[in-house]
Structure 1
């Protein structure tokens, strides 16, 4: 009911706004993200504060634009896929047109407006001659004309309509008619009515399309375009920008496709929202869904470590919080809230955008108003209702700046991977327990046209490419995206307290007749000023299966405490399908009952040991990615798989321990050997008990898995304990009755 009421009130405001626009009230230009009032303040800042960050950013951009404008205008006939010459040239063109338009507004020098005008006229001459792009995917529903897919076409429109808006008032009526009738209107119509399946889609492609067409509606005085961008082509509310805000974000601002695509989608969301706010403030777009866009900006920042986004789903690992999308988002967030924590992120980004909000950020940084931005341990609910599992971030500063990412989250649409209950671990700035991300060389045309590689479907998305249980060498949901989207894990609980952070999730639909439940904790060992990651993975099936639990690590294998039979003369693939065909089997072992240790050295100079509790029936299979890869598309990363066969139930118990230091420049090594000497596991009612001896200090870790987080009593070594909340850590030698 609340959603319906919000939508109804939003549509009333929408109707009023449409009536105002249709009465012929033509807005002054520019009127999108940058307004005429912004321009006045920005010009004043440039002229009166020569040494400020804003003036410096202006001078830097102006110099870049001047250098690019010295080259002839090039508007090539499209022929290349992603990353190819014509693809990249059209990207450069829309970015240059936008930048030159901004410099025109701030400098009032007609040469910048004339340059944008001349390029737009060349585009207006070219566009009517174009058919669908020659490199488009055959039978695709979303081909472009300038680009191989309509997503890039929409991105072109988002930037180009702003460029046109910025130079609009400098143009003759004749030029306006040519540019609008032969270019901007046809592109807008192609992006909307010409691509209905994309335009109406609740997906990041739809967000870019509705943003571009909606902003074109404001600039070209087409209020119907704005309405259709907000509510879909039939104005039904089943699609469009408002539906995207409703469906793609959880109430906490988590985007269903994951942080990489949250970052990507953020720019059109924020850009179009700013245009709506500036043209129709009565819509109160930034208040919609309890300020969902501001929450989304903040959540995007939180979903990063050491400046890079957590690489789940189809992610490229090099993307981080200094990308232009989040620079724009942080700028808008500060402009709306004056929250000095955002200035800390803006300082890290070290980029000032030339907008009204950008001026506010620059002046605040000049006056050193930033305060530390706090990264937190948070469980971000997934799905538009926040109840479709969660993406859990655990952080600690005990023993180093560490983060653990736990993923009892939803599928993530077509960009999602079959990786329910997987995890990743980060320490001292580096990825330690890794996720492959996407198999793709973005915009490298020589590698499959810059598109996703075939191995994205044959390896990267499959369960064995992640750090979670695989049953019978078959991926979750049998690798069916539709089934995956219709099923999701449950977050049983999440809590952070003085002892660390703990979370538990489960799913019973990844495999028929199999229940998977995982509990992960980032545990503070205060006495040792250290932290360990505890992992308890329960598998319960109605018949016997093979259970595999992979762990993919970054670094060089240093040691195992068990004999390892290495395949030194000939390698074979671990399996035949579901990603197994891409893993070389490099060695194998069956450790005796007790503790099985695997130690590796990361590039950050620290050692990491996974200590596993084994019963003597687990095989350890050491792997390297790269089998059945004739074009060398995959990265050759290492891992190992814990395997048990012909079992109905099994509990995988392990602890990951950072330790020591290797310093090659000063030629010393400290604590290269694991300090964990004992690991035991038991349960007492709803309480999980893990005995852990680290550096001759015995600990008891207690986790309350009951439905309630209230007090839970248990006994250990004939002593009574009371567990308050979900996680308790007891240094046993200091424990008193």
Structure 2
């Protein structure tokens, strides 16, 4: 044998050995080997012999599965869009297979494994006959076969591969071959090499795809699939799961598309990471980027109020921290950290998942080990470097449980809205100053197939649908997503102290030649057991423009302190495009110089007054959503717009004041009239000074807007003050 041939044989032997070693790393000795392991199963089987929450959860799920598997297996030919029968049937099928697989592992009753086997075999018979879904979007790059989009296909794979893993050892070789060769491998290949633009995409769709294919790689002994899932199809590192961890989360764990999609993306992130940890602990996936996944779980919780996520961007308002994605996330977080605060959230969620970590949570709750989870005032940096603006959450317990959300944050990719520097306000469990969220009836096929409604593009995403300045009735970035993604606000400062919380953000690229700068503060007035939200919005342009500042509120208009010219016989749309065409103009007014007040009553039984400082040149336009809406797709919510015309510069100053109580059952009303009797605004160098009289108690609110929060000595009305932080509040009558 010549040297060349000998070296070739040696190289081949080394490669074969390397492949064998790599395969042995990926392939576990036995199944299950994904989120649930053999060791987990042993502990869980022992646990269900006793009492407690885990046993109760097992019995409850077993009862549900028993009822469902009594029905004939139905694997229909796909034909419906989101929310339609076949769409929902395939969703229920993968969830049922997963649940039945768990019950099989814990009960060791073959009937559950046989049910999953039979359903998988039917899928294996159907899948080779399918083309692209008939309801797919035309010219879409990511159609599915079982579902109208490949996102749902990837979700099907994430659940189904776990179901297969759970019953794997119960199958004979013939069944394994059919299920793997005719179903699981083709679906995995379709989801990866068949959908490269989605699989390699740094986006939640890509996360689901890489998770499904990567988990299939561990089960089907395909180490290359795992590597491609981690580093993209070319293993270049430009896409894949690791790149998604790098790019989609800020260093604090904020997900670029907002909390609604952060919740949605958590499940594949956590599920795949847990799988990696169980199979290849040496990768230390939960330590990656200083524990970014654990931070992401915690941040998702923090981005909620009264159990619901803040509905920014394309959000559905009914989603909250009890969704299964965050249940799984909290369960994994407790399993990794033993942080008792997560038990408090788990107790609220009231759902025990049947995994090894779920057993830990259930047993800890049985032992009453939970501790209060602390919701904080935080500025969550946006962008993978944390420098692309921020999403700011302000909270206080003074006068009730209140939260103010300020959004000097990045665009949020295709799901983002053109709403730079917008805000929302929450009090006593309710949304007060609102964000529309998404125009969509999720999974209601009768309403546009359950997809986003056309009004999502014509209204919900536009700037006027939010609580921020619109210039010349044109949306930020001229409603161009690509431009929006390349430009983002700057968070100038954020601080929380004994007086409350204050933040400042600005952007100079939403409109050419125009700078927008906003300061928002949630100010505590402990002497009155009350809180106010202070808003100072500066607009500075290089030529004259029309400036509109909308405020969308939830509730019934109660009163204004100025005469309102209402349109009682005929309504017309406020404008023709950029969302204005969907706003009925219901009335208007031009308040005299001084304080302009608008009061409404929320369903929580409290009154809210927006007191604005006006110069007599602001037009107040009262609106209701619903114009040019022939299919009644939009919610008929109320708002008012402060309009200034022909100006280069303007400062909008206002205070939002919660007050009073209305109790219809006991028939009493308290403090229905605003208690703010004075509001002045002035500056001294880098200091903003706002004098506020609430319930005959005068206050001075001082804000340091400089680059550094240095100590400031200043004089106001011949009295001396010292501002040590960004925000200071002084009760003037005590000086």
Q: TM-score, normalised to structure 1's length?
A: 0.97
* Contact 1:428–1:604 under 8 Å retained in 2: yes
Return the offset for 1:288. 0.1
Structure 1, 712-721 or 127-136: larger mean CA deviation = 712-721
Cα 1:519–1:206 shift into 2, 3 Å: same
1:287 aligns with 2:318: no
Aligned mates of 1:249, 1:120 — CA distance in 2? 36
**1:610-640 deviation per Cα after TM superposition (whole angstroms, max 9, x unaligned):** 0000000000000000000000000000000
Aligned mates of 1:10, 1:286 — CA distance in 2? 38
Residue 415 of structure 2 corresponds to: 415
Aligned mates of 2:10, 2:450 — CA distance in 1? 40
Aligned mates of 1:315, 1:597 — CA distance in 2? 31
* Contact 1:147–1:153 under 8 Å retained in 2: yes
Task: For structure 2, list consecutive stretches of 5 or more residues without a partner in the other structure.
Answer: none
**1:636-675 deviation per Cα after TM superposition (whole angstroms, max 9, x unaligned):** 0000000000000000000000000000000000000000
* Contact 1:158–1:215 under 8 Å retained in 2: yes
Tell me the secondary structure at the aligned position of residue 41 of structure 1.
Answer: helix
Return the offset for 1:393. 0.1
Residue 182 of structure 1 corresponds to: 182
Return the offset for 1:719. 1.8
Tell me the secondary structure at the aligned position of residue 26 of structure 2.
Answer: coil
**1:266-307 deviation per Cα after TM superposition (whole angstroms, max 9, x unaligned):** 000000000000000000000000000000000000000000
Cα 1:678–1:118 shift into 2, 3 Å: same
Aligned length: 731
Tell me the secondary structure at the aligned position of residue 591 of structure 1.
Answer: coil
Return the offset for 1:725. 1.0
Cα 1:678–1:4 shift into 2, 3 Å: farther
Cα 1:153–1:697 shift into 2, 3 Å: same
Return the offset for 1:15. 13
Cα 1:143–1:7 shift into 2, 3 Å: farther
* Contact 1:13–1:282 under 8 Å retained in 2: no
Return the offset for 1:721. 1.3
Cα 1:501–1:682 shift into 2, 3 Å: same
Tell me the secondary structure at the aligned position of residue 444 of structure 2.
Answer: coil
Cα 1:7–1:523 shift into 2, 3 Å: farther
Give the superposed CA RMSD: 4.7
Cα 1:124–1:7 shift into 2, 3 Å: farther
* Contact 2:251–2:381 under 8 Å retained in 1: yes
Aligned mates of 1:3, 1:531 — CA distance in 2? 85
Aligned mates of 1:80, 1:2 — CA distance in 2? 64
Cα 1:24–1:357 shift into 2, 3 Å: closer
Aligned mates of 1:664, 1:526 — CA distance in 2? 28
Cα 1:2–1:609 shift into 2, 3 Å: farther
Return the offset for 1:27. 3.1
Aligned mates of 1:11, 1:133 — CA distance in 2? 46
Matches within 5 A, 1:43-62: 43-46=45-48, 51-62=51-62
Q: TM-score, normalised to structure 2's length?
A: 0.97
Tell me the secondary structure at the aligned position of residue 97 of structure 1.
Answer: helix
* Contact 1:14–1:283 under 8 Å retained in 2: no
Cα 1:580–1:74 shift into 2, 3 Å: same
Return the offset for 1:25. 5.3
Cα 1:371–1:311 shift into 2, 3 Å: same
Aligned mates of 2:381, 2:95 — CA distance in 1? 35
Matches within 5 A, 1:33-432: 33-46=35-48, 51-432=51-432
* Contact 2:491–2:506 under 8 Å retained in 1: yes
Cα 1:261–1:5 shift into 2, 3 Å: farther
**1:319-362 deviation per Cα after TM superposition (whole angstroms, max 9, x unaligned):** 00000000000000000000000000000000000000000000
**1:61-108 deviation per Cα after TM superposition (whole angstroms, max 9, x unaligned):** 000000000100000000000000000000000000000000000000
Return the offset for 1:21. 2.1
Return the offset for 1:20. 3.2
Return the offset for 1:3. 43
Return the offset for 1:28. 1.3
Aligned mates of 2:555, 2:517 — CA distance in 1? 28
Matches within 5 A, 1:430-509: 430-509=430-509
**1:472-517 deviation per Cα after TM superposition (whole angstroms, max 9, x unaligned):** 0000000000000000000000000000000000000000000000
Tell me the secondary structure at the aligned position of residue 71 of structure 1.
Answer: coil
* Contact 1:545–1:646 under 8 Å retained in 2: yes
Aligned mates of 2:172, 2:67 — CA distance in 1? 27
Return the offset for 1:713. 1.9
Aligned mates of 1:27, 1:555 — CA distance in 2? 60
* Contact 2:27–2:218 under 8 Å retained in 1: no
* Contact 1:267–1:328 under 8 Å retained in 2: yes
**1:403-447 deviation per Cα after TM superposition (whole angstroms, max 9, x unaligned):** 000000000000000000000000000000000000000000011
Tell me the secondary structure at the aligned position of residue 492 of structure 2.
Answer: strand
Cα 1:108–1:413 shift into 2, 3 Å: same
Aligned mates of 2:4, 2:578 — CA distance in 1? 43
Cα 1:396–1:559 shift into 2, 3 Å: same
Cα 1:4–1:310 shift into 2, 3 Å: farther
* Contact 2:26–2:279 under 8 Å retained in 1: no
Aligned mates of 1:662, 1:410 — CA distance in 2? 39
Return the offset for 1:12. 22
